[in-house]
Structure 1
Amino acid sequence: MNVYNSGTALVKQIAGTELPEQALALWALGQEGFLVKWKRITVLFDPYLTNWVYELCGPPWSRAFEPPLAPSDCLDVDYVICSHHHEDHMDKLTLQAIGQSAKTRFVVPRAHLPLMKEWGFRDEQLIGISHGQTLQLESGLRLEAFAAKHEQFEQDEAGEHKFLGYVANFEGIHLYHAGDTVGFPELVTWLQSRQIDIALLPINGRDFVRNEQGIVGNCNYREAVEIAVQMNTDLLIPMHYGLFPHNDENPAYFVDYIQRHYPAQKFHMFAPGERFIYMK
């Protein structure tokens, strides 16, 4: 028995979702994967829709739940946007399957364009982006990239940042997908003027034990909340929890921290495959 929306039912819901002006719909796909629909445009952020990490690394990297969508369900997506090359964010199997689509374009950090070409993607399918760069994509959709610290900044030989977060401007609705990052002062400075309506921030944190296992860390729940509050974010959505039990945080701590310190801050907790419609 399915306990969340998935498969054919989810595909039908996405296709059938009609939105008024100044609204967008989000579906949570697990980890940092989100599908965003705005007008007739669909955008996938960091889709991890296979079991690729487990296939590469084995235990304990088992998924806690199956992906709500299969890669083959995503062949009509307009853009796939990846924040960095870790297998649960830039999933080779998911991307190659979606890459069979004639319409989908893939936006990745410029540092990872050579890898995407190694994986079989053609130049016309790829859009590279750098820290501080703004792209005008389609019909009013604008994308701006900001460097992320996946504990540290990391750059290639050309100085291109390997970890990015993105502000997607849907004609006045500003959505920030942080990718994997810790909190740092420059991030707040960069984003305060962007009038972020929706902030998607990781909350799984970091610690000595995971560091010893080679697991690179992220914001904890306190950092995510404080970043969102300092940016004057309208709606905060936590991500990067619930999929891998050994690299996780209890999301109840996130809720408790908001309720104790910032009870007026709006937030939303997603179930896998859930739809949420944001209206400005």
Structure 2
Amino acid sequence: MSVYNSGKALVKQIAETELPRQALALWALGQEGFLVKWNKKTVLFDPYLSNWVYELAGPPWSRAFESPLAPSDCLNVDYVVISHHHEDHMDKLTLQAIGQSAQTRFIAPRAHLPLLKEWGLRDEQLIGISHGQCLELDGGIRLDAFAAMHEQFEQDDAGEHKFLGYVANFEGVHLYHAGDTIGFPELVTWLQSRQIDIAMLPINGRDFVRNGQGIVGNCNYREAVEIAVQIDADMIIPMHYGLFPHNDENPAYFVDYIHRHYPAKKFHMFAPGERFIYMK
């Protein structure tokens, strides 16, 4: 079931969406930004809702489409989960705006807590998390963190990983948000026992031209599919495409690959602002 909206209509749709406990509602917000609603709780992953990258770096970092939500639309979100400090994932303008909320808590790699505090987020709003750590959140949500390899592992002086992915367990519905990562054997091993229902993986890939421009790479569409297959995920959701044309991949290649090699594997492609309901 899918419907898409933006602005006030999207805010209204999110508020009015009611689901049984064995279902999740997901809204795509662009890049790796997703809003997940379950049992009246809302979790926002990697929201890039501003034009912060363009304001910092200028061309060619223009958005291909406007954000379906404004930061001011997200002041009643329960949790914001941040995978790493790149501006299209840990968006200063978005986080500072949502930080005006007394309700929202921000979960981020421990390595980035000092910067978030510099941006004005308060200690009581922040929850640090490390590779291998599990958090029990309000409402029965469990969050496990796993190191990501954004081409390589990076750690701070305390050994804290700077790039993380997350498995969110909504009372038996398991969603994996990979953040930015390439495929590596340990990741498959970590996830194989997690009974992943939805695997959300980047597909924009990497190459020497982009590396030369300082653009750090991700899984390509083949890697994303193969990781999801090896961890036996029920459904694959590709992400990290469509927003920045110069750091993109044609999602049709993902569709072609999965149809050719794994025609029985479920997947879903999102339009910006689209709602998708997953029933276990």
Q: If the length of structure 2 is used for normalisation, what is the TM-score?
A: 0.99
Deviations 1:91-132 (A, max 9, x none): 000000000000000000000000011111111000000000
- Indicate the residue corresponding to 1:181 in structure 2: 181
Report the secondary structure of 2:259's partner residue. Answer: helix
Spell out, residue by residue over 1:13-64, the C-alpha distance to the aligned partner (whole angstroms, 9 max, x if none). 0000010120010000000000000011000000000000000000000000
Check conservation: 2:31, 2:239, Cα contact below 8 A.
Answer: yes
Any idea what SS the aligned residue of 1:139 has?
helix
Residues of 2 paired with 1:98 and 1:155: CA distance?
Answer: 27
Partner of 1:113: 113
CA shift for structure 1 position 71: 0.1
Give, in angstroms, the shift of residue 139 of structure 1.
1.7
Q: Is the 8 A contact 2:21 2:38 kept in 1?
A: no
* CA distance, structure 2, for counterparts of residue 116 and residue 212 of structure 1: 29
Runs of 4+ in 1 over 6 A off after TM superposition: none
Q: How does 1:255-270 map to 2 (within 5 A)?
A: 255-270=255-270
1:72 partner SS: helix
1:234 and 2:234 correspond:
yes
Q: Deviations over 1:130-162 (max 9, x none)?
A: 000000011210000000000000000000000
Deviations 1:179-221 (A, max 9, x none): 0000000000000000000010000000010000000000000
- Give the equivalent residue in structure 2 for 1:55: 55
Listed one character per residue, the Cα deviations across residues 57-79 of structure 1 (whole Å, up to 9, x for unaligned) are 00000000000000000000000
Q: Kindly provide the amino acid, as one letter, of the partner of residue 149 in structure 1.
A: M
**What is the CA–CA distance in structure 2 between the aligned matches of 1:181 and 1:36, rounded to whole Å?**
21
Map 1:9-158; keep pairs closer than 5 Å: 9-158=9-158
Q: CA deviation at 1:252?
A: 0.1
Q: Which residue in the other structure is 1:6 paired with?
A: 6
Opposite residue 17 of structure 1, the aligned amino acid is: T
What is the CA–CA distance in structure 2 between the aligned matches of 1:21 and 1:127, rounded to whole Å?
25
Map 1:161-180 onto structure 2 (within 5 A): 161-180=161-180
AA matched with 1:158? A
Q: How does 1:199-278 map to 2 (within 5 A)?
A: 199-278=199-278
Aligned counterparts of 1:198 and 1:264: Cα–Cα separation in 2 = 15
SS of 2:144's equivalent in the other structure is strand
In the TM superposition, residue 245 of structure 1 has moved relative to its aligned partner by 0.2
In the alignment, the residues of structure 1 paired with residue 273 and residue 99 of structure 2 have an alpha-carbon distance, to the nearest angstrom, of: 22
Amino acid at match of 1:105: R
Q: Is the 8 A contact 2:75 2:104 kept in 1?
A: yes
8 Å CA contact 2:150, 2:218 repeated in 1: yes
Q: Distance in 2 between matches of 1:206 and 1:21?
A: 38
- Give the gaps of 5 or more residues in structure 2: none
- Alpha-carbon distance in structure 2 between the residues aligned to 1:264 and 1:46: 30
For residue 216 of structure 1, what is the amino acid of its counterpart? V
Kindly state the Cα deviation for residue 7 of structure 1 after the two structures are TM-superposed.
0.1
Distance 1:264 1:45 in 2: 28
Separation in 2 of the partners of 1:182 and 1:253? 17
CA RMSD of aligned residues (A): 0.8
**Matched residue of 2:257: which SS?**
helix
| Count of residues in correspondence between the two structures | 278
